Amino acid sequence: MNEMSKIKRNPAAVKIANEILKEYDCDSLADMQDALKEIFGPLFEGMLQGEMDNHLGYKSNSKEPKSTKNRRNGSNPKTLKTTMGEVEINAPRDRNGSFEPVIVPKRSKDVSDIEGKVLSMYARGMSQRDISSTIEDIYGFKVSHDMIVYCNLKLINFWTNRNSKLTSFFIMLLYGFYNQKEAKKGDENHYAKV
């Protein structure tokens, strides 16, 4: 008799899913889609802000001298088409108009393909370099390691400055596998680093 094996789930992914269910009190598929739509908006905004930081060479509100005269110039509302439906975001812009985002390109609205892949890469614990390489393989454009790091930091700053139970969700999503990877390398102080 062929016994079917139980599907093995990543414990971090299970914890993330449980946090979403608890925070949004999801009782139906529609509730779950609404929750994910709410999450995708800030996720894309954070990644775009990270790209802008990388483009300008400094972080928002930085007091240090700037190497460029180009500055942030607010944002434009943009409606993205995702696998969960339409999501409203504020897309950053610069004074010179030279900012060409990679994650959500100008005049592009359909991000249904990339969103799942990026989240999946984070959930699988891929490094920023691996994510950058994978995006290039899939979409044919280069995303620098620095830009991925900036995007990650922007997302972490966004979620840690919110009074929300979902703060831990995104920290786990972005860096949830750090402990496992460091533990496998034999680093006994890996928990102190996170």
- DSSP structural state of residue 110: B
H-type alpha helices, 26-160: 29-56, 112-123, 128-139, 145-160
pLDDT number for residue 132: 74
pLDDT number for residue 59: 85
Nearest CA to 38 among 97, 95, 85? 85
Stretch among 82-96, 133-147, 159-173, 179-193 having the lowest mean pLDDT: 179-193
**Segment 18-75, tens digit of pLDDT:** 888 888 888 887 887 788 788 888 888 888 888 898 899 888 888 888 888 999 999 9
Neighbours of 152 (CB within 10 A): 19
Contact 102, 141 (CB under 8 A): yes
* Residue 29: alpha-carbon gap to chain centroid: 23
Residue extents of the structural domains in the chain = 11-58+68-177
State yes or no: pLDDT of 190 exceeds 50. no
**Segment 76-133, tens digit of pLDDT:** 999 998 777 888 999 999 999 999 998 888 888 887 766 566 666 766 777 777 877 7
pLDDT number for residue 36: 79
Tokens found for residue 13: 């992914």
Confirm whether pTM is higher than 0.85: no
Neighbours of 175 (CB within 10 A): 17
Tokens found for residue 27: 């009782």
Tokens found for residue 179: 């402990």
